[in-house]
Amino acid sequence: MAKLKALLLTEGYHGMISQVEGLAKALNVEFQHKIVRLNWLWNFIPPKITPISESILKDKKYISDNEKFDLVISCGRKSVIPSILLKKKNKDVFTIHIQDPKTNFNNFDIIVVPEHDGVNGENIINSKGAIHYITKEEIEKSKNYLVNKVTGQKIIALILGGPNKYYSFNNKELSKIFNQIKTSFISIGYKVVVVPSMRTPKKTIELAKNEFVNDGYTVTNVDKNAYLSSLAIADSIVVTCDSTSMISESAISGKPIFVAHMKARKNNYRFKKFFQLFNDMGITRNLGEKVEQWNYDSLNEVERVASVIKKKIKDYDFS
């Protein structure tokens, strides 16, 4: 039997790409990825009051093309309407949306939502943290990528996110994190490897580079191999609190994860629920707590979620 074909729809952010591609790979389907771009006004309108119309889209080609897809896997607010449009065009397509679509759940066959979001329903699958595309095999393959960049008997990986509507990533908060790294880890012999993400401002990368110039190595560009290699060579991992996606990704390593907290500029209730969940699971502790090694089962939620979906699509009519 030929592999099913999937169209992946996201807004182009790392966390979203990681989730849709991770699920597509776990489902063992062929896939192509499209970035959803909306006309200006509709960027600010919630999906529940957005018209189900191609007129809101900048690029309509993937809607109007006659290419047949068996599945649509979408993630993020902007991808909600295109997924619904594709379902209207072809009622046989199986649609999976990742994250709360903030619209009628019946618009999708399956919705995958992190447990800490508190969303439940008949077609909802809850995941512990975010599903993603990182695998242990990829981490091991990239191990040697940074091995000559940072040397030391003990290594701490600092994974940096970037500003969002909850966290400003200002220099005061960053300096506090960098000082905690020095106090907790470097003071007892650790070397640090700093890895930025797509949202990390250049000024933040430069700040880290200058701060740790004698204490390790700072990756200056977004580099997936460096990210994977840092997870492989590190004894412990620190991830900034703005990215539940990268905390979830790091948890596949099975290594101790310390969350670098910053002052929130608005109510971060969902983040707090996520932090509490991962703390209760024995995966994370807060940066500043005692430095020690601990063990937990490597978290691979995408395989568990995919196994549930496979059962649901096994007898689905894709004709």
Give pLDDT, residue 319. 64
Residues 188 and 308 in one domain: no
How far is 94 from 83, CA to CA, in rounded Å?
10
Residues 24, 156 share a domain = no
Q: Tell me: do 82 and 168 sit in the same domain.
A: no
- Does residue 189 share a domain with residue 116? no
Alpha helices in 80-149 (DSSP H): 80-89, 136-141
pLDDT in tens, 10-39: 999 989 999 999 999 999 999 999 999 999
Tell me which residue has tokens 């940072």: 150
CATH of the domain at 156: 3.40.50.2000
Does the pLDDT of residue 40 top 60, yes or no? Answer: yes
Residue range 118-135, pLDDT digits in tens: 999 999 999 999 999 999
Burial of 162 (0-12, 13-18, 19+ CB in 10 A): middle
Q: 66 pLDDT band (50/70/90 cuts)?
A: confident
Q: Is residue 25 part of a domain?
A: yes
Tell whether the torsion through CA atoms of 222, 225, 226 and 228 is positive or negative.
positive
Do 124 and 142 belong to one domain? no
Evaluate whether residue 162 is within a structural domain. yes
Q: Transcribe 22-58 into DSSP letters.
A: HHHHHTT-EEEEEE--B-GGGGGS-GGGS-SSGGGBS
228 shares its domain with 108: no
* Averaged pLDDT of the chain: 95
CA–CA gap between residue 296 and residue 218 (Å, rounded): 28
Query: Which of 32-41, 43-52, 61-70, 181-190 has the weakest average pLDDT?
Result: 61-70
Is the pLDDT confidence value at 199 over 70? yes
Same-domain status, 147 and 42: no
Residue 1 has pLDDT above 70, yes or no: no
> Does residue 148 share a domain with residue 124?
no
Q: Are 145 and 230 in contact (CB under 8 A)?
A: no
Q: How many residues would you count in the chain?
A: 319
106 and 43 fall within a common domain: yes
**Domain limits at 270?**
136-286
Same domain, 124 and 246: no
Total count of domains within the chain: 2
Shared domain for 98 and 157, answered yes or no, is: no
CATH at residue 17: 3.40.50.11010
Closest C-alpha among 105, 103, 127 to residue 50: 103
Q: Are residues 185 and 145 in the same domain?
A: yes
pLDDT of 235-280, one tens digit each?
999 999 999 999 999 999 999 999 999 999 999 999 999 999 999 9
The pLDDT, as a whole number, for residue 60 is 84
